[in-house]
Chains A and B, each alone.
Chain A
């Protein structure tokens, strides 16, 4: 394959990936609502978005869930990875299997399992069901990332600590955890992304009092052209680029030994 062909091909793929979003972003500045013609630069839709309380609330809710579930998943997932790495216990294979099933299942199947569970238990759909569901589907990714790093550990460090009389908890807290920071951070970020991007599971387990962004956007876009969604797309793209820059800076730091 020649160099030009390669560049052209990659360029085309990126064009395909970015063109639709670019159209949205450009139209967010378009004075006309329909975006078929350019009728002038304007911030109107940005103003409209910032005044759209329901949309802002939904966006805040989504962010809240994403932060909380990413954090919960990182904590629980790290402990799970630790358990699988370090301990022998009954049903260990089942646990690994369960995590694998969650990771490989299409969202719709997971969504159904959560819905059936919550209805069977009589739990009111809303904030907590959403949080539990999001945390759960992020878990496998955390476990895999953290486990991969654990496998590369120098076991001698841990042995040395134990020889010096450190308890399990101390070994984890003072030795293992500080070294795990890169993978925990990476899996937090991945969980955050997955939670923010989720549409299917949220559709099934959310309640009337806690609306998240995809649900609100779904109502808006089904009704037709929605310039506020264009603004949303532009803002989300901006936020993701900023976060990525932060993450890149973070990843440059080496783990302290």
Chain B
């Protein structure tokens, strides 16, 4: 019986089963297999892949990558939070214009934008020319192929992703709380700490989620701006799959990323629930 309803449900389940569920299970399975140069991954099952994740050399890269992504995320938050705050309070017409202007660079492809950063950070690039020209420094700085360059590039690409969920959060914020706080003589800092921050925490966590994990995977930023000496986890994973061909190890790292994602989602869920509770008028902390 080929009813419309059956067709739609089969399509939904079929597509997701083949293109999402099965591949994830395959990766999980691969992470427990043994590496083989010729056949990529073979039986027997083994924990070698995961053992390699914790080998000092690779674990160091993992931690370093975490560090780079964390700094990039923090910077995105520092810049994105006030930016979203200002934008959310504009009149809708102006707000949409600014939002669109912020998203416009996306159509030029992240790779081209990363290349643009490479151009301006070079010793003969725009930034150095300005620094030397205005006399802030005497010699051009070595900005490219450094941690700074990678972080700069990550923030550049991912900033809009931080702004969007924050804006959604700000828009949902009831003006009444802010006004009530004002009436109660709360100053700007108190308003921020007790009202804005807690109530936008889901937005903050969402923004961090959308920035932090992808940052770890953006190998092309490390390739172009890091000089292959400042590796992100994405570079290691890509290397394992496309050059060294240790698929179990590469899969193990991917699974690690997925686990991290699950943990961060748990945090997000908690933050959301906290906000739902605090939203009541009987909250004593107000």
Contacts and interface: CB of A to CB of B under 8 A. Distances in A.
Interface of B: 3-5, 8-9, 11-13, 15-16, 18-24, 26-27, 30, 40, 79, 82-83, 86-87, 98, 100-102, 104-113, 115-120, 124, 126, 129, 156, 159, 209-210, 213-214, 216-220, 223-224, 233-234, 237-238, 241-242, 247, 250-251, 254, 257-258, 261, 265
A213 B119 contact: no
Contact of A80 (B12, B223, B265): B12
A244 B79 contact: no
Nearest to B25: A113
Contacts of A181: none
Nearest to A240: B107
A108 B257 contact: yes
CB-based closest 4 A-B pairs: A108-B217, A240-B107, A20-B116, A113-B23
Contacts of B217: 106-109, 200
Given A24-B119, A200-B217, 17 more contacts: A20-B116, A27-B119, A79-B11, A83-B8, A98-B16, A104-B209, A104-B265, A105-B213, A106-B217, A112-B254, A116-B27, A193-B107, A204-B242, A217-B112, A221-B111, A236-B109, A237-B107
Nearest to B103: A193
A172 B12 CA distance: 16
Contacts of A19: 120, 126
A68 interface: no
B11 A76 contact: yes
Interface residues of A, number: 80
B113 A13 contact: no
B143 to A, nearest CB: 13
A218 B8 contact: no
Nearest to B218: A200
Interface string A197-227: 1011001100000000110011001100110
Contact of B22 (A87, A117, A203, A232): A117
Given A17-B105, A21-B105, A196-B109, A10 B220 contact: no
A167 interface: yes
Interface stretch (A46-54, A88-96, A151-159): A88-96
Nearest to A89: B9
A34 B119 CA distance: 9
A222 B223 contact: yes
Given A19-B120, A199-B110, A236-B109, A109 B241 contact: no
Contacts of B210: 104
A77 to B, nearest CB: 10
A236 B112 contact: yes
A105 B261 contact: yes
Nearest to B220: A199
A188 to B, nearest CB: 14
Contacts of B116: 20-21, 23-24, 233
A237 B104 contact: yes
A6 B90 CA distance: 11
Contacts of A35: 119
Given A20-B120, A98-B21, A113 B26 contact: yes
Contact of B20 (A13, A136, A232): A136
B109 A214 contact: yes
Contacts of A45: none
A109 B257 CA distance: 8
A199 B109 contact: yes
B119 A20 contact: yes
Contacts of B159: 13, 17
B214 A106 contact: yes
Contacts of B107: 193, 196-197, 236-237, 239-240, 243
Given A21-B108, A99-B16, A217-B109, A114 B23 contact: yes
A167 B38 CA distance: 55
A16 B120 CA distance: 11
A9 B79 CA distance: 9
